[in-house]
């Protein structure tokens, strides 16, 4: 980005102050969640220890274990310690312990307690195996990338959402053949509120397809076939959010996904999930994504579907600063932070395109190393497909002009129906035309020092700084409760999934978090 910064003046001292406030906000969140775990974190530990499959009633075995921990008031001891305690008494591996719990053949409360060192030692081979699965998937992905490189950014991002994983693979392969760089499998409506991950392949979903490990495997295999056919790498996206945030992150890591939607506040604001539950789960899920080298996508673009894109532009950037601070606490480098924003200003507003440029350029300059995710116009789509196609072209122009990274393509049939294959083909054709004909336009543009774009960027940054200072003063939970983000307020102590939060006891262990943190530190040192 060197030299390009000259085209938009950005007050670097104010950006630094914003980051200071965002770190203070993140510090407050981590004080709130310190010494706590959730049933979904414990299920994630189960999966990393090799527990998979279902019981005779079809209940996923990680849920069998977490339900047992809850019923016996053992969540505070955690899955690792409890399973190690069982191993010490019976010799059972974690998967066998889970099966015996499912059959009602085990009562861990009857077994003697063991010390932490012994508990760690007993299950350490399973830790090695669990992390090796992530390493192997990452290595396979990197080998494929080396053989079939990415196309240059902006990457063209499209969605499939049939509800049937096998139909999704057909549509995904068609999209890659048409020119897509990224395929996102939209998750079935309301899956974020399920406190379990369905098992196996699924063929029925409403508005999308269930996120399951087998579905991830099936889609990854299909895209790998497309990569070899087209000679270029195609990335796979799904959702690590909701009540199974860290669990979905680890299944995605096992199956070699490239990106995960993984926001720190989306579930609270848009799904009314408990704050503590969300913040605890997002931390562990982001550690997993960081270790697996998976790009996260944050959800600030959604704010502009419920709040005005001009009046509330600063809330998007304030949230991006907070997401960045929390992601760094989890070990995510900037190159994996797909911070979100959107092209959502009313198209009938005079100079609206200039305001869009100001917002997009400001985000790009503040976060120069992040693979920014830029979302298309949706709020003001009316079903007029001709105007919609034009709006998407303007969105594509804004993207190439401001050096965006991840371009989620707009569909001319937005607000009409779920996109057909031909709708995606037109969207890709639109973007490829604009990106080709204006490829180096950003190098030629300089904004007038006192013009509309510069003045708007200055205003938004100042408003962002004031908001972050206020949030750092009140704390993020109070700011969310007051409706400061997306014009949606949520109570601090309310929300779905609150019963799944538990204080950790003196015997609690999460060696996976410790090992991820250690290895991520080593990576950072190596990068220096």
pLDDT at 54 over 90: yes
Structure tokens at 298: 């944050």
What average pLDDT does the segment 7-15 reach? 95
Q: How far apart are the first and last CA of the chain?
A: 20
| pLDDT tens-place string over residues 313-332 | 999 999 999 999 999 999 99
The set of catalytic residues is 266, 301, 373
Structure tokens at 450: 């006192």
What average pLDDT does the segment 464-483 reach? 97
Q: Counting every residue, how long is the chain?
A: 528
pLDDT at 57 over 60: yes
Residues contacting 209, CB < 8 A, separation 6+: 160, 161, 162, 163, 164, 165, 168, 185, 186, 187, 188, 202, 215
| pLDDT tens-place string over residues 267-304 | 999 999 999 999 999 999 999 999 999 999 999 998 99
pLDDT at 3 over 70: no
| pLDDT tens-place string over residues 19-34 | 999 999 999 999 999 9
pLDDT at 450 over 90: yes
**Enclosing H/E stretch for 452:** helix 452-474
Assess contact for 498 and 277: CB atoms under 8 A.
Answer: yes
pTM for this entry: 0.95
pLDDT at 412 over 80: yes
**Enclosing H/E stretch for 238:** strand 235-239
The band of 419, judged by pLDDT with boundaries at 50, 70 and 90, is confident
* The predicted structure's pLDDT at residue 4: 43
The band of 525, judged by pLDDT with boundaries at 50, 70 and 90, is confident
* The predicted structure's pLDDT at residue 264: 86
The band of 524, judged by pLDDT with boundaries at 50, 70 and 90, is confident
| pLDDT tens-place string over residues 352-408 | 999 999 999 999 999 999 999 999 999 999 999 999 999 999 999 999 999 999 999
pLDDT at 103 over 70: yes
Partners of 503 in the beta sheet?
36
| pLDDT tens-place string over residues 155-182 | 999 999 999 999 999 999 999 999 999 9
What average pLDDT does the segment 474-479 reach? 97
The band of 5, judged by pLDDT with boundaries at 50, 70 and 90, is low
| pLDDT tens-place string over residues 107-122 | 999 999 999 999 999 9
The band of 1, judged by pLDDT with boundaries at 50, 70 and 90, is very low
Buried b (16+ CB within 10 A) or exposed e, 196-230: bbbbebbeebeebbbbbbbbbbbbbebbbebbeeb
| pLDDT tens-place string over residues 192-229 | 999 999 999 999 999 999 999 999 999 999 999 999 99
């Amino acid at each position: 980005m060197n030299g390009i910064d000259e085209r938009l003046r950005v007050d670097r001292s104010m950006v630094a102050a914003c980051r200071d406030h965002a770190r203070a906000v993140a510090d407050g969140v981590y004080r709130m969640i310190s010494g706590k775990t959730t049933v979904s974190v414990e299920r994630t530990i189960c999966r990393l220890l090799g527990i998979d499959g279902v019981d005779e009633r079809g209940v996923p075995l990680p849920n069998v274990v977490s339900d047992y921990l809850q019923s016996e008031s053992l969540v505070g001891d955690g899955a690792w310690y409890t399973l190690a305690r069982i191993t010490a008494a019976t010799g059972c591996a974690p998967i066998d312990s889970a099966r015996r719990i499912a059959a009602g053949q085990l009562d861990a409360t009857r077994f003697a307690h063991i010390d932490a060192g012994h508990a760690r030692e007993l299950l350490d081979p399973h830790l090695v195996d669990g992390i090796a699965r992530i390493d192997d998937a990452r290595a396979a992905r990197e080998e494929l990338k080396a053989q079939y490189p990415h196309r240059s950014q902006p990457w063209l991002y499209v969605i499939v959402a049939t509800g049937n994983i096998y139909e999704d693979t057909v549509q995904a392969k068609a999209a890659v053949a048409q020119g897509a760089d990224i395929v996102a499998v939209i998750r079935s409506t309301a899956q974020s509120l399920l406190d379990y991950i369905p098992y196996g392949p699924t063929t029925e979903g409403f508005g999308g397809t269930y996120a399951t490990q087998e579905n991830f495997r099936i889609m990854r295999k299909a895209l790998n076939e497309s990569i070899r056919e087209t000679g270029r790498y195609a990335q796979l996206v799904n959702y690590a959010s909701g009540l199974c945030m860290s669990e979905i992150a680890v299944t995605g890591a096992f199956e070699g996904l490239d990106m995960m939607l993984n926001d720190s506040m989306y579930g609270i604001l848009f799904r009314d999930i408990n704050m503590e539950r969300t913040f605890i789960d997002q931390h562990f899920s982001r550690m997993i994504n960081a270790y697996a080298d998976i790009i996260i996508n944050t959800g600030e673009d959604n704010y502009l579907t419920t709040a005005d894109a001009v009046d509330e532009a600063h809330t998007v950037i304030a949230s991006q600063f907070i997401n960045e601070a929390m992601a760094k606490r989890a070990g995510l480098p900037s190159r994996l932070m797909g911070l979100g924003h959107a092209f959502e200003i009313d198209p009938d507003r005079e100079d609206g395109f200039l305001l869009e440029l100001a917002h997009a350029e400001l985000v790009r300059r503040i976060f120069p190393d992040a693979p920014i995710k830029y979302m298309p116009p949706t709020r003001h789509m009316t079903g007029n497909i001709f105007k919609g196609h034009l709006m998407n072209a303007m969105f594509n122009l804004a993207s190439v002009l401001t050096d965006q990274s991840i371009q989620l393509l707009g569909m001319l049939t937005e607000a009409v129906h779920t996109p057909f294959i031909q709708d995606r083909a037109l969207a890709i054709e639109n973007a490829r035309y604009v990106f080709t004909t204006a490829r180096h336009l950003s190098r030629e543009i300089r904004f007038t020092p006192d013009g509309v774009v510069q003045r708007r960027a200055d205003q938004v940054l100042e408003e962002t700084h004031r908001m972050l200072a206020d949030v750092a003063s009140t704390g993020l939970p109070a700011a969310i409760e007051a409706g400061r983000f997306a014009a949606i307020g949520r109570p601090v102590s309310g929300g779905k999934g609150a019963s799944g939060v538990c204080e950790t006891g003196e015997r609690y262990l999460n060696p996976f978090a410790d090992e991820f943190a250690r290895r991520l530190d080593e990576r950072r040192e190596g990068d220096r």
